[in-house]
Homo-oligomer: A and B are copies of this chain.
Amino acid sequence: MNATAATALPFGRAEYDGRLRRVRERMAAQGLDCLIATDPANMNYLTGYDGWSFYTPQCVVVPLDGEVMLFTRAMDANGARLTTFLADERIFGFPDDYVQQRDRHPMEWIADELAARGALAGTVGLEMDSYYFTPRAADALRARAPGVTFADAGELVNWVRAIKSPAELALMRTAASIAERVMAAGIEAVRPGVRQCDAVAAIYEAQVRGTAEAGGDYPAIVPMLPTGQGTSTPHLTWSDAPFVAGEATILELAGCYRRYHCPIARTVFLGEPSRRLADTARVTVEGLATALDAVRPGVTCEEVEAAWRGHIAPHGLEKASRIGYSVGLGYPPDWGEHTMSLRPGDTTPLEPDMAFHMIVGMWMDDWGFEASETFVVTGSGAECLCAFPRELAVKG
């Protein structure tokens, strides 16, 4: 069915071949004969698969030698045929009576199919910390595969994703052009007396409509909109209460195009901000610029963070949490890639075509400020994908 795919693949076949080659190089280096990828972003990265089916078990199986297979619920197999390059006979749908039962588990069916095809042998890598791979799924798989050695493959595919191709960067630049519109719509919509939900409606509208050339996809994270006292913490969503004059609102949003993200965070104040907030915002934005200036190939993640820390400390500010992470392809609940973090102890050297979301969030007892930039490491520095003022947006 893939010959008449309703949804064209976002990349040419050579791009997928290259990804698989790099994944298999890492598999060989880690002594894996087979990899079972359960992270929806990794499944998409390896095959193109795109559907909201990760609420039942599914996986892409990559043998070191042999063809890639995709397993999903029977009703979703047609979705895999329509969105991947895989031949129909490499797509397997488990019967519906395995769904959400206490006496059987879809991973048992999958294990039996894999065993019948000789793919469960030697050392098999599992993504032991991926969101939709549960302990029960892992137990079901292991119970059906006696004699097989299972190993935690960790973030093997995620690390391959860390360096973006030109085609991926093009999608992220499109996502950035959407993100600029989304943030503009959000800041415009936050006004005293306006219901939070009505502002978020405008944000979603901008996220999904996208541009005239490129329609938007759903970001992996819904709009974050802590307001008032809620700005003391980053991950609150909205209510139908109105925005209040004299309060701040943090907007952490994104543009998304074909599952590639460009996140952006800004803070709005309705009225005259306190000296404390204004000063913190100014120093934080300066620190963000300082950290971005430190980016170049060969510099480590922790050195970038140290530049930030070095700027804010003399102002009496400190931040306990990381200031950024690798970003790109993603599904809910996260657009981060779970590999590099900009924080002390991460000694990964930056390389060209890595992409990060650098987010400096300052959460105090009952107030806060955030700003962020999504950037790509170039041959000589950081290229920010969005052009949008970073300062505290003050509205009368």
Residues of chain A touching chain B, judged by Cβ–Cβ distance below 8 Å, are 1, 4, 6-7, 50-55, 74-79, 82-83, 95-97, 99-100, 102, 105, 126, 128-139, 152, 154, 195-198, 200-202, 204-205, 207-210, 214-218, 221-222, 224, 226-230, 232-240, 320-322, 325, 332-334, 336, 338, 341, 343-345, 361, 363, 366
A205 near B215: Cβ-Cβ < 8 Å: no
Contact partner of A135 (CB less than 8 A), chosen from B128, B226, B229, is B128
B320 touches A74 (CB 8 A): yes
Q: Which residue of B lies closest to A343 (CB)?
A: B97
In the complex with contacts A75-B361, A133-B135, A320-B95, A50-B209 CB distance below 8 A: no
- Do B134 and A152 touch across chains, with their CB atoms under 8 A apart? no
For residue A1, which residues in chain B have a CB less than 8 angstroms away from its CB?
Answer: 229, 366
A209 touches B217 (CB 8 A): no
Check B233 against A76 for contact (C-beta < 8 Å).
yes
Distance in Å: Cβ of A39 to nearest Cβ of chain B: 11
CB-nearest residue of chain B relative to A7? B239
Which residues of B have CB within 8 Å of A204? 201, 204-205, 207-208
Distance in angstroms from A120 CB to nearest chain B CB is 17
**How distant is the Cα of A205 from the Cα of B197 in the complex, in angstroms?**
9
Give the docked Cα–Cα distance between A224 and B230 (Å). 31
Task: Please report the C-alpha to C-alpha distance between residue A366 and residue B209 in the assembled complex, in whole angstroms.
Answer: 27
- The chain B residue with its CB closest to the CB of A219 is B222
Residue from B4, B52, B131, B236 within 8 A of A229 (CB atoms): B4
Whether A75 pairs with B341 at a CB distance below 8 angstroms is: no
- Top 8 A-B pairs, shortest CB-CB distance: A215-B240, A197-B215, A78-B233, A96-B321, A204-B204, A129-B136, A79-B233, A55-B334
Considering the complex, give the chain B residue whose CB is closest to the CB of A209. Answer: B201
Contacts of A78 in B (CB 8 A): 232-233, 363
Residues in B with CB closer than 8 Å to A334 are 55
| B215 and A209 within 8 A (CB) | no
- B residues less than 8 Å from A238 (CB atoms): 208, 215
With a CB–CB cut-off of 8 A, which chain B residues contact A345? 97
B135 adjacent to A135 (CB under 8 Å): yes
Question: With A and B bound together, what is the CA distance between A139 and B240 in angstroms?
Answer: 41
- Give the most central of A95, A197, A208: most B CB within 10 Å: A208
Task: Please tell me if the beta carbons of B236 and A7 are within 8 angstroms of each other in the complex.
Answer: yes
Nearest B residue (CB) for A5:
B229
A59–chain B nearest beta-carbon distance, Å: 13
Are A198 and B224 touching (Cβ within 8 A)? no
| Supplied contacts A52-B224, A75-B235, A201-B205, 16 more A-B pairs, CB within 8 Å | A7-B239, A50-B236, A52-B235, A52-B236, A53-B235, A55-B333, A55-B336, A74-B320, A76-B233, A79-B226, A79-B234, A96-B343, A99-B341, A100-B338, A102-B154, A217-B237
Nearest opposing residue in chain B for A227, CB measure: B6
Complexed CA–CA distance, A197 and B257 (Å): 11
